[in-house]
A and B are shown apart, each in its own frame.
Chain A
Amino acid sequence: AQKITQTQPGMFVQEKEAVTLDCTYDTSDPSYGLFWYKQPSSGEMIFLIYQGSYDQQNATEGRYSLNFQKARKSANLVISASQLGDSAMYFCAMRGSLSNDYKLSFGAGTTVTVRA
């Protein structure tokens, strides 16, 4: 079984500043994938970034980067140069490699509000 914990229910960030969203996880899978999704108020779930458990380097995708610390079981999302359009709910999720762990396990989410 997998568990994802996002401890920040909501965050405010000033436009053009960076923001870090925390995510910790727990799993017994030897191999797993970590994902971040963005969900604006309109409801669509947008895939942002992926980190594999055996990847040596932290994933980056444009203004998104993932601070992956395997020993600490954390996978924090960093959004650089925040824009007003970044205001949304952000979900951390993971997926395991064992046959029963095909499901995408989500954290509770963090609401980010970008201020002008």
Chain B
Amino acid sequence: DAMVIQNPRYQVTQFGKPVTLSCSQTLNHNVMYWYQQKSSQAPKLLFHYYDKDFNNEADTPDNFQSRRPNTSFCFLDIRSPGLGDAAMYLCATSRDLRADQPQHFGDGTRLSIL
């Protein structure tokens, strides 16, 4: 089945130690997104790629970076994680940015900071 796959499912890192979360898709969608979701809140968009074009949300901290080396893969890099970065990180894809296109999400990576 075509899908969005996130690895790992759970990630533990130390305060200030860089961490990378990965996402891959077999849907061949043009757009890939990264969301941060804290407990009992709605997901918050960090950034998205339309093909190779990177679009950062205005309020995304500089600590968060992303890479999309090819259509299938997208990475979220947190350069110096702080305790406030502990959250669920969701990757999503969509065919394009049209209003009728749903976003398809992966299972998420739950990040803990020690």
Same complex origin of A and B: yes
A residues within 8 Å of B by Cβ?
29, 31-33, 35, 37, 42-47, 50, 52-53, 91, 95-97, 101-104, 106-109
Asked if A106 and B105 make an inter-chain contact with CB atoms under 8 angstroms apart, the answer reads no
Q: Are A108 and B101 in contact (CB under 8 A)?
A: no
Q: Establish whether residues A102 and B108, one from each chain, have CB atoms under 8 Å apart when the complex forms.
A: no
Question: Which of B41, B99, B107 lies in contact with A33, CB distance below 8 A?
Answer: B99
Chain B interface residue count, Cβ-Cβ cutoff 8 angstroms: 22
B58 to chain A, nearest CB (A): 11
A44-B102 contact, Cβ under 8 Å, with A107-B42, A108-B42: no
Candidate in A31, A46, A50, A104 with the most chain B CB atoms within 10 angstroms: A104
In contact, A43 and B107 (Cβ under 8 angstroms): yes
Which residues in window 29-53 of B have CB below 8 A to A?
40-43, 45, 48
A residues near B45, Cβ cutoff 8 Å: 103-104
A residues within 8 A CB of B110? 43
Question: Inside 8 A of B92's CB, which chain A residues have their CB?
Answer: 45
Tell me, rounded to whole Å, the shortest Cβ–Cβ distance linking B94 to chain A.
9
Which of B90, B105, B108 lies in contact with A47, CB distance below 8 A?
B105
